[in-house]
Structure 1
Amino acid sequence: MNKLIFTIMLAFSAASAAAQAPAPKCADPCVPQHLRHAPATPAPSGAALQQQAVAKLRQRFNEADLDASGALTEEEARKAGLGWVANHFADIDTAHRGKVTFDDVRSYIGKRRRQALGPSAPE
């Protein structure tokens, strides 16, 4: 009798396990959930990646510009978590106005890129 009950319980547990969704490809608990499955779309690269990065930076810049002046002070940049802008503020603010526009930031990034890649670097 006990063997029969055990067999029935085992059959039910196997059936319920089979009815559940398939396990992810990687079930390692040390791997973050978002890395366990292949992305639905390929990650952007090249010009698309650069456009995505610029758009994200512009969005963060605009969110930090609380007074909608189109410019940030060093303090605004730091408070908004734009540490890179805050840390390079003196170099970005070439006009020494105490504020920088998004175009100032883009110009500085381009200048740093050209310095790193040499004179043959594209704009």
Structure 2
Amino acid sequence: MKKILALVGLVLAGSALGQEPGWTDPYVPPHVKRVGPPPVETRGDALKAQVEKKLRDQFDAADTAKSGTLTRSQALAAGFGYVAENFDAIDTRRAGVVRFDDLKRHLGL
């Protein structure tokens, strides 16, 4: 009987090993425990849309004049280093400003 109880204990302990640590521990504070399902990995068109939105938000934040274009100095001031460092390659029109479409074309989006 002791062997059966020991075996049951080992099986139960083994099944707990596959769980993430801390999820079932009652002493883990609630703010540390994950709420809801884990995040879903984004792929394909949804990932492209997320990247484009993040890039657009950064571009719009750097465009302090709200003109729809960025100068090299605006990009530098906003910490948008990639645009500032690659400004000449992005500004294929040689207009002295970069539009969001110019940036997308340069990045292949």
Instruction: Indicate the TM-score class for this superposition, using the shorter chain for normalisation.
Output: 0.5 to 0.7
Aligned residue in 2 for 1:80: 78
Query: Aligned partners of 1:55, 1:103: CA distance in 2, in Å?
Result: 13
Q: Secondary structure at the match of 2:67?
A: coil
Give the ranges of 4+ consecutive aligned residues of structure 1 lying more than 4 Å apart after TM superposition.
36-39
For residues 82 and 63 of structure 2, what CA distance do their matches in structure 1 show?
Answer: 16
Q: Runs of 5+ in structure 2 lacking a partner?
A: 1-24
Match of 2:54 in 1: 56
Residue 90 of structure 2: aligned partner = 92
Structure 1 residue 86, shift from structure 2 partner: 0.9
The count of corresponding residues between Structure 1 and Structure 2 is 82
Could you tell me how far apart the structure 2 residues matched to 1:68 and 1:60 are?
A: 13
Greater helix percent: which structure?
Answer: 1
Q: 1:80 to 1:21 in 2, by over 3 A?
A: farther
Identity %: 39
1:101 match: 99
Which of 54, 68, 71 lines up with 1:70 in the alignment?
68
User: Normalized against structure 2, the TM-score is what?
Assistant: 0.65
Does the C-alpha gap of structure 1 residues 22 and 60 become closer, same or farther in structure 2, counting only changes over 3 Å? same
Shift in alpha-carbon separation, 1:57–1:39, aligned structure 2, 3 A: farther
Q: For 1:21 and 1:89, how far apart are their aligned partners in 2?
A: 55
RMSD: 2.5
1:51 and 1:22 map into 2 onto residues whose CA distance is 40
Higher RCO (C-alpha under 8 Å, 6+ residues apart) = 2
